[in-house]
Amino acid sequence: DPYCFALKMSILQYNGGSVIAMTGKNCVGIACDRRFGVQQLTLAGDFDKVFKINDKLFLGLPGLATDMQTLHEKLRYRVNMYRLREERDVSPKVFAKMVSSILYEHRWGPYFTEPVIGGLEGDKPFVCSMDLIGCPMVTDDFVVSGSSNESLLGICESLYIPDQSPEDLFETLSQCLLNAMDRDCISGWGATVHIITTTGVTSRNLRTRQD
């Protein structure tokens, strides 16, 4: 049918979306775009992909939206059980291992999401990304994931400066996300940025190009 469009895309690009996490001096920034769409159709501009696990730990889940929601709920359950048993908050390293294990359990029928974790281990920043079957990658600068993966890597590689203050980290992180997002058709429609410090979390919604 010549009037019916169905683009041939990878399943990880069905909904689109991007997430990025970056380290600073005793702080971590994690940010995502806010678009929710189905292939080329945009349905919402308030669909965050970064979730709070606890005051010092955030999780970003780009990729297939249904898998992102399911995984978020599964992890919320596991984290709550952890908190009941251990009587303390889960640390980023342990949480990363938890996510990795859950993803690998589904090695042959995976969740189509490539998570990004940003948090504070004590007061040291911790960022980690994973592929869809749970292979973790811990770096000391930045991690990216989502449909504008390559663009994010390119601009982070150029603009990143180690040990920035929370204010400077916010600016750098935002510029990296915004400019990379603007070169990707299936990411965009606003952005949410969280800056995690030892004293608290500052969350900001950015107004961006709405196209």
Query: Rule CB under 8 A: is residue 208 a binding residue for another protein?
Result: yes
Report DSSP state, residue 15: S
Is the CB of 69 or the CB of 210 nearer to another protein?
A: 210
Considering only 154, 165, 166, 202, the residue that binds another protein (CB under 8 A) is 154
Report if residue 157 touches another protein, rule: CB under 8 A: yes
CB of 166 closer than 8 Å to CB of 194: no
Nearer Cβ to another protein (89/182):
182
d(CA 26, CA 122): 9
Does residue number 45 form part of the binding site for another protein (CB under 8 A)? no
Q: How do 50-54 and 57-60 pair as beta strands?
A: antiparallel
Q: Which two tokens stand for residue 193?
A: 């940025």
Sole window of 14-22, 57-65, 130-138, 154-162 interacting with another protein (rule: CB under 8 A): 154-162
Residue 179 binding another protein, by CB under 8 A = yes
* 98 near another protein, judged by CB under 8 A: no
Give Cα 187 distance to the centre of its chain.
13
Is the sign of the CA dihedral 200, 205, 206, 211 positive or negative? positive
- Which residues of this chain interact with another protein, rule CB under 8 A? 150-155, 157-159, 174-176, 178-180, 182-183, 208
